[in-house]
Amino acid sequence: MSPLLLLILLPLAASLLIMIGANPRRTAIVAALLNLVLSVLLFARYDLHAGGWQFLSEWHVLPNLGINLSLGADGLSMTMLLLSTLVTLSALWVAPKIEKREGLYYVCLLFISAGVIGAFSTLDVLFLYSFHELALIPTFILIGVWGSGDRQAAAWKATIYLGGASFVLLIGIISLYLSLPSGMRTFDLRQLDHLALSGTFHPASWIYLLLLVGFGTLVSLFPFHSWAPPAYACAPTPAAMLHSGVLKKFGLYGLIRICLPLFPEAIQQFNALLVLMLIGNILYIGYVTVAQKRLDWTIGYSSVMHMGYIFLGLASLTVMGINGAALLMFAHGLSVAAAFALCGEIRRRTGTLDYSELGGLGKVTPVLGLLFGFAAMASVGLPGFANFAGEILVFFGATVSSIYGPLMVVAIIIGVWGVVVSAIYMLRAYRHIFWGPIAQRWESLTDIAPTAKWSVILLLVPLMIAGFYPQIILNMVGTILPR
Amino acid sequence: MNTTSLEFAVVGLGILLLLAEAFIDRTNKDYLAYLGAAGLAIILVLSFLPLQGPATGSPDSAFLTSDILSVFFTRFLLVSTIVVLLMTPGYKPVLARYLPAEKEGAGVGEFTILPLFVCAGLMWMVSAIDFIMIFVALELATITLYVLSTYLRQNMASLEAGTKFLILGALSTGFFVYGITWIFGVTGTTNIVSLPQSISLLPESSTLPLLFGVALILVALSFKIGAFPFQFWVPDVYQGAPTPVTAYLSVASKAAGFVVLLRLLVALETVPVLAHKLYAVVTLLAGVTLIFGNLAAIPQTNMKRLLGYSSVAHAGYLLMGVASLGSLMAIPAIGLYFAAYLVMTLLSFVVLMVVAEATGGEEISRFNGLSQRSPLLAGAMLLAMASLAGIPFTAGFVGKFLIFEVALKQGHFGLVAIGCITVAAGFYYYFKVARAMYWQQATEETPIPVSMTIKLLIALLGAGILALGIYPGPVLAALR
Amino acid sequence: MNVSTIAWITLSAPILAAALILLVTRKSKPLAAGLAILSALITCAGGWILFSRGATGDFLGFNWVDLGASFQIPIGIALDPLSRTMLVIVTTIAPLVFIYSIGYMKDEEGYWRYFAGLALFLFSMLGIVLANNLVMMFIFWELVGVSSYILIGHYFRKDSAADAAKQAFLVNRIGDFGFMLGILLFWISTGTFSFSALNSSAGVFVQHPALLGVACVLIFCGTVGKSAQFPLHVWLPNSMEGPTPVSSLLHAATMVAAGVYLLARIFPILSASPGACEVVAWTGAITALGAGILATQQDDIKGILAYSTISQLGYMVTGAGLAVSAALPMFHLFTHAFFKCLLFLTAGSVILGMHHEQNIWKMGGLLKKMPVTFITYCCGMLALSGCPFFSGHYSKDLIMACSWEHHRGIFWVVVIAAGLTPFYMTRQAMVVFFGKARTEHSEHAHESPLVMIIPLILLAIPAVCAGYAPVEHFFFHEIGSLAEPEVPSFVPTIFMAAFLAGLGLAFLIYRNVEKDPVRIPFLAQRFYIDDLYFWIVRVIQGGFARLCSFIDRWFIDGILVQGSATFIWTIGFALRFLQLGNIQAYAFFFGAGVIGLIYLILNVR
Amino acid sequence: MPTLANYLLASGILFAVGLGGVMLRRSIIIIFMSLEIMLNAANLALIAFSRYGLVSGHQVFDAQILVFFIITVAAAEVAVGLAIIVSLYRARQTTHVEDLDTLKF
Amino acid sequence: MLLSAFWFFATLTIAFGISVILLRNPVSCAMSLAMCFISLAALFITLDATLIGIMQILVYAGAVMVLFLFIIMLLDLRTEKSRRLNFGTTLGGVLVIAAFLSMLTQIVLSNPQFAQTIPTLALPTPDNVKMIGMTLFHSYALPFEAIGVLLLSATVGVIVLSRRTLR
C-alpha cells in the first residue's frame, strides 16, 4: 500500500470507526497522531537529491479519459502534507469537550483532514479538485451546529460562495483539459507539465482567468474574500484552524501546481490584474482589519490580508518569490491555526472576544498570553518565525520582478507597509486583551489547560524551527523550481 | 436472446401477479412487491445475456432496435422499477389511509402491479425506433401513470395531481400525434432510422412542414422530460402523487422521454438544415430549464415539491448534454448522468417516504433534527443531497463533470455560465435539507423505525452513489 | 579558542540564557537573574577578548536562506574595528545594568520575564553589532524592537505602559518600513547586501546618484525610527514607562544607538551621496535642537533624560551626516553611552529612593540624603552638558568643529542645542538635589543599596574619562580619523560660551524655587506633535480603516455578494409564481410555449 | 376537387378549436372533449396524407393503422380520464378546474 | 361533387367543434361533439378511408360519446355557471390560437405539393379493409400487442379508480 494512500485513508478509517461507535476523541487523535508520525517520516525520507515526484502509486479510474487516481509527492506537497497533519493533530487535540453528537464533530473534522491530505498528495488535477471539495459539507455542518455568533449566515455564505467558486474552478479545469489536443487529454500533472515544457501545449489565457478566480476565491483573494472572515469568526475552533490553516492553502497550491507551469504567458499577461488584487488584499484588507473590534474577526481578516503576501510572491514569478510564497504558506498555516486555537481558548473562558470588554488577561492567564504573544508576533512577521523569512523572500522576489514595471514597485512599497499595518492590528489586539487593567469579572479566569497548551506548542515549535532555519522548508520546496 | 422477450417477460410478470392478487387471498400484499422485484431482478440478470435485436427483415425490426442506448436504459428502467416496487410495502400505511378499502390491504396489490406495465411501456419506448411504436408505448406508460398518480382517491392532492397530469398529458399527446402526422405526411415514413434518408429525397419546399412536425414532437418530448415551458405539471404532480409514483415519474418516465429525444436528434443530426435548428432550440430549452428549475427551487419548503423542481433542474443539465450531442462523449455522459440521477433521486425519495410517514408531513421542516433521531436516514439523505448538488466522490459529481465537459467541448459557453449560477443555487436548496437535518433541533426525539427492506434499499442506493462517484468506469464502458 | 568560536559564543550566550529562563527557571528568581547575568558576563568577556585580540574577519555561520548561487542570505559575523568597539561598549554596559537590575527589580513581579527580555535584548543587540550584512542586521533590528516592546511593557497592567510599548514597536516598524525598502533598493542595484561588498559598491551608482541618495535615505529611515530622530522621536519619551534600568540600557545607552551604528556601518556608501548626507545631517541637527528645547520643560526626571537622549542622538546623527569619518558619530556614541547610562541609573536610584516618584517638582534637597547618587549624577550631568574635562565635552566639541568645517548652518543649530543641554540638566540638578524637600517622600528618601551603587560608581569613571585622548585613541584609531579639524579659535569659545550661558541661566532661574517659574505649554506639550500624531492615527488612519471596513461590509459583501445572492433568490421567488396551480393557466403557457417553439424552429438560423 | 391543403387547413382549424377549448373552458369534461377534438384533427390530417400519398404517390395504409391506434388509445384515455373525473367529483363535488389549486408555487 | 362534399362536411365539423367549446350546457356540448365526429367520419369517407370512417362512428360517436353522456348524467352536471370571464385568459387563448393558425396557414400555403388534388386510386376500394387487416396483423403486430397491454392496464386502472370501495 502506498504510504500516501495510507495517509488519506487513516482519517477516513477513523471516522468510519467513530460512526460504528468507537470513542470519538480518542480514535480521532490516535489517527491524527499516526498520520503526523507518518508524514514526518515521509518528509524525512523524501530524497532531496533525486527530487521530483516520489512515493508514486496509481489506480486507473477512467483511463481513456485520462483520469487516474495517482498519488505522489514532491517537496512542496510534502511540506503541505506536513502542515496538514500538524494542524490536524493540533485541531483535534485542542477541541473542547463536546456535549452533543461528539461523533459527528470528529467525523467532520477528520473528513476535512482527509480531504486536504488527499488534495496535497494527488497528481491528478481532477482528484486534486475533488479532495478539496470533501471539506464543503463537514464545514457546513461544523459551523452550523457548533459555531458561535451569527453562525448560520456565515455557514451559508461560505458554503454557497465556495461551492460556486469551486464550480468555476471545475469549469476552468475542464477547459484546460479540453484545450489539450484530443487523444492526449489527461489530468495527470506530470504529463501536463511535460506537454507544457515541450511546447506542444498552449492553453488559452482565459482559462487562466477562470482558474485564478476559482483558486483565488478559495484563498480569499480580494475582492472574492468576503466569505472568509465571518466563516472563521463563527466556526468552531478546530474547524477554523483547519480551514484557515490548511484548506485555504489549497488554492495557492493549485495556482503553483497548475497555473505556474502551464500558463507562463497568461500569467504575464494578467499579472497586473493579480497585482492590483493583491494590493487590495494587503492594503485594503489590512485597514479593514485595523477597524475590527473583535479578536475573531481580526484574525479572520488578517488571514485574508496575509494571503496578499503569498500572492505577491507568486506574482513576482521569480524563484525567490515563489519559494517565499511556499514558505509563507507553511508558516501562515501554522501561525493562523495557533492564533485561532488561542482565540477559541479565550472565547471559552470569557464568552466574548470584544476588545471593549476584555483587558488585562495577561495577569490571570500568563501562559495563554505568552502563547498568544508568540502567535501574534509570528503573524506580525517577526524574525524567528518562518513568516518573516517568507515575507523577506517574497519582497526580494518582487523586487527582482519590479524592473518590469512601476506597478510592482507600488506593490512592494504597499507590501512592506502592510507589515506595519499588521503590527498595528495585532498589537492592538494583544494590548486590548492581555494588557491594561483587568476587569473585576475576569479576575477568576483559569490559565490555559495543558492539552490546549501543548497543541499550540505543537504548532509553534515547527514554526520557529522553520523560522530559525527556513532552509529545511526551502530545500523541499525548491525541488519544484529550477535553481 | 431476443430483446423483445424482455418486455414480454415484464408484461407476463405483471399478468401473473394480477392473477395471484386475484386468486390468493392474503391481506398482506407485500409478497407481490417482493415477487415482482425478484422477477424483475431475474429479467435484469437475463438482460446481461447476449442480446439480439429483432432479426433484420422481420416486422418487429421496423419498430424495435437493440443498441447500446436501449440495452442500457432497459436495465436502467428495470433497476428503477425494482426500487419502486420495494418502496411500496413501506407505503402501505398511506394507501390504507386514502383508499376507500373494505378490508385491509385492498388496492395495495394493483398499486404494486401497475408499475410493471409502466415499466414494459417504457422499455418498449427506449427500444422503439418508430413513432407509432413510441406513441403506443408512451401511452401505455402515461395512461397507467395517470392512474397511479390519482391512486390516493381520498387525498385531494393526489386527485388534483392526477387531474392536472391527465389534462396536460393528453394535451401533449395531442401535439405528439399531430407532430407525427406532419412528419409522416411530408416524409411518408414514421421510422426514425429511415427518416434522414427520406428527408434527403424531399424537395426544398417540404422543409417548413417538416420543421413544424418536428417542433410539435419536441413539444411533446419537452413535456415528458419537464423542460421549460412545458414543465408546469412537474412540481404539482410530483407533490401530489404518491411518493413511489413520484420517484418513478421523476426517474423512469423522464429517462424514456430523453431516450426518444436522443434517438430523434441522433437521426436528424445527419440532416444539415434540421440539425442546426434543433441544436439551437435544445440549447435554448436547456438554458431556460436550468434557470427555471434551479432558481424556482430556491424558495421551496415542501420536500417533494423541491425534488420536483430539482427534477426540472436536472432535466436542464441533461438537455445541456443533449445540446452537445456533436461530441462522442455526449451519450455516455447523459447515460451516466441518468445512472447517477437514478441512485440519488431514488435514495432521497426512499428517505423522504420513511420520514414523511414517521413525521406526518413532507415539508423540509419535518426533517429537523433528523440526524439525532436517525443518523442512518440523515446520513443517507445527506449523501443524496450532496450527490444532487454535485459534490465530488458522489455520482452526481461525475455526471455533472461529464456533462459540462461535453458542453464545453461543444462550445456552449453561455450554458456553462448559466450552469455555474445554477449549481451555486443548487448548493443552496439542497443544503437547506442538510441544514434541517443537522442544524435544527427535532421537535421529538424518538428514533424513527426503519424496516429491513428500506435499510437494504438505502444501503444499495448509497453504495451506488459512492461507487459511481469513485469508479464510474464500468457504467461508462457500458455506454460506449 | 579561535576567534570565530569566541564570537559565536558571545553572540549566542544571551539567547540561550533567555530560552533557559523561559523554559526552565521561570519559578526561581535567583536562577533567572543569575542566568541572565552569567550570559552578560560571558558576552562581556567575549567582547573584550575579541577587542583585545584585534580580531578581524568575516565568519559565515550558515546560510539562513540558500536559493543557489544567485541568492543567499548568510548569517555571519563581521569583526572589524567598528564592530569590535561597539561590541565592547555594549558588553561592558550591559552586565552593569543587569546587576543593577537585581536591586531595582527586587520587589517587582514578572522577574523572569524581565530578565528573559534583557537577555533577548542583549542577543539582538549583539546581532546588530556583529551582523555582516543588511538582512541579518534587519533581523536583529526587529528583535531589538520586540525585546524593547517586552521591556517597556513590563508593567503591562498600567495603561500608559501598555500604550507606550505598543507605540514604540509601531513607530520602530514605520522606520523599518523605510529600512526594508532601502535594503531592497540596494540589493536590486548592487546585487548584494553584505556590508563589505556594499561599502565598496559606490561605483555602481556613479551614473545614478539620485538612486544612491534615495537608497541611503531609506536605510536612514531605520535610524530615524530606532534612534528616535524627528519626526519619529515620539516613542522614546513614552518608553520611559519601562523599568528604569531598561530605560538606561536600551533607551539611552545601546539600543537607540543602534541607528547611529547602522549609519557608521554603511558610512562609506553613505558618504558617497552628498544629498543623503545633507538629509541625515539636517535631521540630526533639527532633532538635537528640538529635543533640547523640549527637555527644558519636562517635569519627569526620566522624561528630561529621554529628551536629552534624543538630542544627543541628534548630535550623533549629525556627526554621521557630516561625512567626515565613521569614528565621529561613534565617538559621541561611546561617551554618551557611559554618561547617559549613568544618568539613568542615578535617576533610577533617585526614583527608588523616592518610592517611585518621578516628578522632579516633588523632589528636592536629595543632595544630603543620597550623596553617592548625587556625585555620580554630577559626573554624568557634567559630561552630558559638555563641561570641559568630562567625556561629553570632547566628543561634542569634535562634532561642533566638524560642522563648522563642513556646514555652517548646521553648526549654529548645533551650538544652540549645545547651550540648551547644560540649561536643562542644571535645571534638573537644581530642582532634584538642591533646595528643600518638597514632599513627604523626598524627606524620607534614602540612599540605594550597594548592588545599585556599585554600577553607578563603575560607570562614573568612564563617564568622566571616556573622552580623553588615550582612550579615544585606544578605541577609535582603527575606525577612522578623529583629528580635530582646523577651526578658528572662536569656535571652541562659542561652544564654551553656550555651555556657560546655559549653566548660568538655569542656575539663576531655578535657584530656590518651589514650582517651575517658566511655564510654556507649547513646550510642555511637546510641540503638540504627539497630539498631532494621535490625531493622524485616530482620525485619518482610523477613518480610512473605518471607511474600508464600511466598504467591505456594505459594498463588497453587502451589495456585491449578498446583493447578487438576494437577486438570484428574488428571481427564483418570482419564477415560482409562474407555477400558478391552475390548469388553464398551464394550458395557456403550454400553448404559448408551442407557439414560441414553432416560431423558433422555423426562424432560427 | 379538394386539394390536400383544404384538408390540412380544416384539420388545423379543428386542432386549434380543440386547443382553444382546453385553454378557455373551465369544466374538466368539456376540456376533455376538446382534447378528443385535437386527436381527431390529427386523424383527419393523417387520413388526408394517407390518401394523397405525397411521397409514394398512392394511398398509404400505415397512416390508417396509426389512426386505428389513435382511436384505441383515445378510447382508453377517455375511460381512464372519466374514471379520474368521477373520483374527483366524488371527493370534491366539482369538475371545475379553478377548484384545483391547492398545489401551486 | 367531392369538393362540395368536402366543403359541406368540413364546415359542419368545424362548426360543431366550435359549438363544443362555446355552448354552456354539457349535454349540448356532448351532442355537438357527436355531430362533429360524425361529419368527420364523412370527411374520412370522402378520402376513401371507409373502414376508419365507420370505426369513427362506432367508437367515437357511439362508445366514447355514450361514455361522456353517461358521466355527464351520472355526475348530474348542470350548465356551466356563468362565472366572470377572465378577460386576460381569454385574450391570451385567442391570441395563441390565432398565432397557431397563422403559422399553420403559412406552412400549408408555402408548399406547392399541398396544392395537388386527390390522385386516382391505384387499388379498388373494396380491398381497403383487407389491406388494413393485413398491415395491422402482420407488420404492426408488435404495436398491436402493446395496445393490448395498454387496454389491460387501463382496465385495471379504471376498476381501481372507480369502484366505490376496494376489496
Q: Which pLDDT score is estimated for A482?
A: 57
Confirm whether C597 is domain-assigned. yes
**Tens of pLDDT along C241-286?**
888 888 888 887 788 889 999 999 989 888 888 889 999 999 999 9
**C255 close to C121: Cβ distance less than 8 angstroms:** yes
Does E146 sit within 8 Å of B205, measured CB to CB?
no
For residue D78, give its domain range.
4-93
**D19 close to E16: Cβ distance less than 8 angstroms:** no
pLDDT above 90 as % of chain A = 61
Strands C57-66 and C72-79: antiparallel
How many angstroms separate the CA atoms of C526 and C295, rounded?
A: 9
**B297 close to B425: Cβ distance less than 8 angstroms:** yes
> Residues C228, C192: one domain?
yes
- Alpha carbon of D105: minimum distance to chain E alpha carbons (Å): 19
Q: Do chains B and E touch by CB distance (3+ pairs < 8 Å)?
A: yes
Q: Chain B within 8 Å of E101 (Cβ-Cβ)?
A: no
C131 strand-pairing partners: C77
DSSP per position, B335-385: HHHHHHHHHHHHHHHHHHHHHHHHHT--BGGGGTTHHHH-HHHHHHHHHHH
Comparing C-alpha atoms, which of B398, B329, B400 is closest to residue A185?
B329
**A315 close to A398: Cβ distance less than 8 angstroms:** yes
How many angstroms separate the CA atoms of C171 and C164, rounded?
A: 10
Does C556 sit within 8 Å of A427, measured CB to CB?
no
> Residues C422, C319: one domain?
yes
Q: What is the mean pLDDT of residues B278-285?
A: 92
Domain count along chain D = 1
User: Is the predicted pLDDT of residue E124 greater than 60, yes or no?
Assistant: no
Does B428 sit within 8 Å of A140, measured CB to CB?
no
Partners of D97 on chain C (C-beta within 8 Å) are 582-584
Does D84 sit within 8 Å of B146, measured CB to CB?
yes
Residue A481's pLDDT band, with cuts at 50, 70 and 90, is: low
Q: Which pLDDT score is estimated for E80?
A: 60
**Tens of pLDDT along E14-54?**
999 999 988 888 889 999 999 999 999 999 988 888 888 98
Confirm whether D13 is domain-assigned. yes
Is the previous residue joined to C209 through a cis bond, with omega within 30 degrees of 0? no
How many angstroms separate the CA atoms of C114 and C32, rounded?
A: 9
Does B206 sit within 8 Å of E165, measured CB to CB?
no
- What is the domain-level CATH number for residue D88? 1.10.287.3510
Give residues with Cβ within 8 angstroms of C346, minimum separation 6: C373, C376, C377, C380, C456
Highest mean pLDDT among A263-277, B234-248, C58-72: B234-248
Does E115 sit within 8 Å of D3, measured CB to CB?
yes
Q: How big is chain A, counted in residues?
A: 483
Of B404, B427, B439, the CB nearest to A152: B439
Residue E79's pLDDT band, with cuts at 50, 70 and 90, is: low
pTM metric for this prediction = 0.92
- Return the SS3 of C252: helix
Partners of C594 on chain B (C-beta within 8 Å) are 175, 215-216, 219
Partners of E146 on chain B (C-beta within 8 Å) are 121, 124, 133, 136-137, 140
**Tens of pLDDT along C550-598?**
998 899 888 988 999 999 999 999 998 888 888 888 999 999 999 999 9
Q: Chain C within 8 Å of B229 (Cβ-Cβ)?
A: yes
> Residues C282, C264: one domain?
yes
Is the previous residue joined to A96 through a cis bond, with omega within 30 degrees of 0? no
Confirm whether C529 is domain-assigned. no
- Interface test with chain C among A396, A432, A457, A483, by most C beta carbons within 10 Å: A396
- Alpha carbon of D2: minimum distance to chain B alpha carbons (Å): 17
Q: What is the mean pLDDT of residues B390-394?
A: 92
**Tens of pLDDT along B324-366?**
998 888 999 999 999 999 999 999 999 999 999 999 889 999 9
Domain limit, last residue, from C524, C545, C574:
C524
pLDDT above 90 as % of chain C = 22
pLDDT above 70 as % of chain C = 100
Q: Which pLDDT score is estimated for E166?
A: 74
How many angstroms separate the CA atoms of A333 and A336, rounded?
A: 6
Q: Which pLDDT score is estimated for D27?
A: 87
Domain count along chain C = 2
Residue A194 CA, chain-centre distance (Å), reads 28
Partners of E51 on chain D (C-beta within 8 Å) are 64
Does B219 sit within 8 Å of C594, measured CB to CB?
yes
Residue B255's pLDDT band, with cuts at 50, 70 and 90, is: very high
Chain E neighbours, 3+ Cβ pairs < 8 A: B, C, D
- ipTM score assigned to the predicted complex: 0.92
Partners of C561 on chain B (C-beta within 8 Å) are none
Q: Which pLDDT score is estimated for B419?
A: 93
Q: What is the mean pLDDT of residues E117-132?
A: 69
**C329 close to C319: Cβ distance less than 8 angstroms:** yes
User: Is the predicted pLDDT of residue B288 greater than 60, yes or no?
Assistant: yes
User: Is the predicted pLDDT of residue A317 greater than 90, yes or no?
Assistant: no
Average pLDDT across chain A, whole number: 90
Q: Which pLDDT score is estimated for A183?
A: 79
How far is CA C540 from each of CA A60, A392, C167, C536, rounded to the nearest angstrom?
61, 29, 17, 5
Q: Do chains D and C touch by CB distance (3+ pairs < 8 Å)?
A: yes
Q: Which pLDDT score is estimated for A483?
A: 44
User: Is the predicted pLDDT of residue A52 greater than 50, yes or no?
Assistant: yes
Long-range contact pairs involving C23-27 (C-beta distance under 8 Å, separation at least 24): C25/C112, C26/C112, C27/C112
Domain limit, last residue, from C471, C493, C524:
C524
How far is CA A421 from each of CA A84, A223, A250, A392, C232, rounded to the nearest angstrom?
28, 19, 26, 16, 17
Partners of C598 on chain E (C-beta within 8 Å) are 100, 103
Domain limit, last residue, from C458, C493, C524:
C524
**C31 close to C111: Cβ distance less than 8 angstroms:** no
Is the previous residue joined to C231 through a cis bond, with omega within 30 degrees of 0? yes
User: Is the predicted pLDDT of residue A289 greater than 60, yes or no?
Assistant: yes
> Residues C561, C497: one domain?
no
**Per-window interface: A 205-234 vs B, CB < 8 A:** none
Q: Which pLDDT score is estimated for A477?
A: 87
Q: What is the mean pLDDT of residues A20-46?
A: 92
D78 strand-pairing partners: none
**Tens of pLDDT along A93-106?**
999 888 888 899 99
**Per-window interface: D 40-59 vs B, CB < 8 A:** 41-42, 45-46, 48-49, 53-56
Partners of A389 on chain C (C-beta within 8 Å) are 64-65
Query: ∠ CA C467-C470-C476 to the nearest 5 degrees?
Result: 75
**Tens of pLDDT along C348-404?**
888 888 888 888 888 878 888 888 888 888 888 888 888 888 888 888 888 888 888
Q: Do chains A and E touch by CB distance (3+ pairs < 8 Å)?
A: no
How far is CA A139 from each of CA A15, A129, A136, C164, C325, rounded to the nearest angstrom?
15, 16, 5, 41, 64
User: Is the predicted pLDDT of residue B390 greater than 70, yes or no?
Assistant: yes
Question: HSE on the CB side for C361, CA within 13 Å?
Answer: 10
**Tens of pLDDT along C442-474?**
778 788 888 888 888 888 888 888 888 888 888
How many angstroms separate the CA atoms of C424 and C385, rounded?
A: 9
Of C585, C592, C602, the CB nearest to E96: C592
Of B110, B133, B147, the CB nearest to E142: B133
How many angstroms separate the CA atoms of B139 and B131, rounded?
A: 12
For residue C393, give its domain range.
3-524
- Return the SS3 of A188: strand
Determine phi and psi for C78, rounding to 5 degrees. -110, 120
- Look up cell 552586565; give the residue: C95
Does D57 sit within 8 Å of E151, measured CB to CB?
no
Q: Chain D within 8 Å of E52 (Cβ-Cβ)?
A: yes
CATH number of E1-79: 1.20.120.1200
Highest mean pLDDT among A34-48, C194-208, C455-469, E132-146: A34-48
Positive or negative CA dihedral for E106, E110, E116, E118?
Answer: negative
Other CB atoms within 10 Å distance of the CB of residue A148: 17
Q: Which pLDDT score is estimated for C352?
A: 83
Q: Do chains E and C touch by CB distance (3+ pairs < 8 Å)?
A: yes
